[in-house]
Amino acid sequence: MILIVDLCYKRNSLSRHEFVNPIARIASKEHDIEIVHRSMLSKPLIDGSEKVILCGTAMKDNGYLENIRDLDIVKSSGVPTMGICAGMQALSMLYGGGVYPWRSIGLKDIEIIHDGPLLGRKRDIQGYHLHNYGISVPSDFIPLSVEDEHVTAFSSRDYKVFGILFHPEVRNGWIVERFLEL
């Protein structure tokens, strides 16, 4: 089962339709899924999952950052995890990186700078951005892609934890599919 975590400010918010449901549609093509709000996370739920996806939020929804310790159980589980936008920001903070103000909206060119199992070979792709924060890469993590000087994707060295700052559900659903097949 794939656990999809809604990081939005409250359960069943309208943002769920924009940031969570598109990920659920991609994942449910080949996998059983369960969607849970961050406030309802539990160790048994995470430990019973094959993979975890932390979804994005609306631009002014930063509650996940104010309650970052609620996500410690995701980190301590060891379950392969991918964070998208707000999810990447949360992973960066959980693993010792950070966030900084960087607003980016719209379709942008992204340079893949590291060959790897998630994004594939070095090349340029386009990705849809909708965020207020960039991330600093945690130590022992690998930057995978950049837009200008900003890191837009990273992974842990064992390829179990991935962060994607842009929204693959908008234009690059193959990234979500590839994570689920790793």
Tell me which CATH code domain 2-181 carries: 3.40.50.880
Question: How would you classify the pairing of strands 51-54 and 2-6?
Answer: parallel
Choice among 18, 129, 131, 167 that is catalytic: 167
Please say whether the dihedral angle defined by the alpha carbons of residues 34, 170, 95 and 117, taken in this order, is positive or negative: positive
Sequence spans of domains, the chain: 2-181
**Residue 167 catalytic?**
yes
pLDDT tens for each residue of the chain, 182 residues long: 999 999 998 888 888 999 999 999 999 999 999 999 999 999 999 999 999 999 999 988 988 988 899 999 999 999 999 999 999 999 999 999 999 999 999 999 999 999 999 999 999 999 999 999 999 999 999 999 999 999 999 999 999 999 999 999 999 999 999 999 99
* Cβ contact 125:154 at 8 Å: no
Q: How far apart are the first and last CA of the chain?
A: 14
CB neighbours of 21 closer than 8 A, spacing ≥ 6? none
**Residue 169 catalytic?**
yes
Choice among 8, 85, 131, 147 that is catalytic: 85
CA atoms within 13 A of residue 135's CA, in its CB half-sphere? 36
**Residue 131 catalytic?**
no
Cα of 68 vs its chain's centroid, Å: 14
In eight-state DSSP terms, residue 85 is T
**Dist CA 181 CA 46 (whole Å):** 18
